[in-house]
């Protein structure tokens, strides 16, 4: 999957999470800081997002250890092949 496709998946998953919580998701940009406070997600939601992406892409960028990322774009890049 391309970086852009993964970015759209991230948007979709975050929308579902926000929907479950009964809140609206602000527009997601590539430089949106995922845990920066503007999005209604906590670290466990992020954990679940990462698991969903791994399932979807069959790619585990964290296999060799934790890799730093802050923004939605950076996360999409990690999973793109």
Partner 1 sequence: MKKDSSMSEITDMKITADDHNPLVLRGECVVTRSEIYHQAMEQADRYTREHISRVMVCSDDPVKLLSTIKGCVTAGIDLWVAHTSLSSSVRTEIATHHGIELMIGDEEKRIESDQTIDRANPVGRIHTMTSGTSGKPKIAEHSLSSLLSRIMPTKMTRSHHGGMWLLTYQATGFAGLQVILTATLSGGQIVVPEQRTPIGFYKAATAHSVTQISGTPTFWRAFLMVVEPETLKLRQVTLGGEVVDQGTLDRLREAFPSARITHIYASTEAGVVFTVHDGQEGFPISFLQEDVPGVKLRVRDGRLQVKSPSAMRAYATIKRQPFTEDGWLDTQDRCEVRGERGFILGREDAVINVAGSKVYPLEIERFLLQLPSIREARAYGVPNPIAGMIVGADVVLDPQIVPAPTKRDIITTCQQNLASYQVPRLLTVVDSIDIQASGKKG
Residues near partner 1 (CB under 8 A): 16, 20-21, 42-44, 46-48, 50-51, 55, 62, 66-67
Of the candidates 55, 44, 56, the one whose C-alpha atom is nearest the C-alpha of residue 17 is: 44
User: Minimum distance between the CB of residue 24 and partner 1, rounded to whole angstroms?
Assistant: 17
Q: Which residues pair with 33 in a beta bridge?
A: 71
User: For residue 66, what are its two tokens?
Assistant: 């934790």
Determine the 3-state secondary structure of 33 from DSSP.
strand
Cβ proximity to partner 1, 8 vs 47, nearer residue = 47
User: Minimum distance between the CB of residue 4 and partner 1, rounded to whole angstroms?
Assistant: 23
């Amino acid at each position: 999957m391309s970086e852009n496709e993964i970015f759209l998946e991230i948007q979709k998953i975050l929308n579902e999470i926000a929907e479950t919580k009964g809140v609206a998701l602000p527009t997601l940009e590539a430089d949106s800081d995922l845990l920066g406070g503007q999005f209604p997600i906590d670290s466990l939601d992020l954990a679940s997002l990462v698991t969903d992406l791994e399932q979807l892409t069959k790619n585990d960028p964290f296999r060799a250890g934790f890799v730093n990322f802050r923004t939605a774009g950076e996360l999409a890049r990690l999973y793109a092949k």
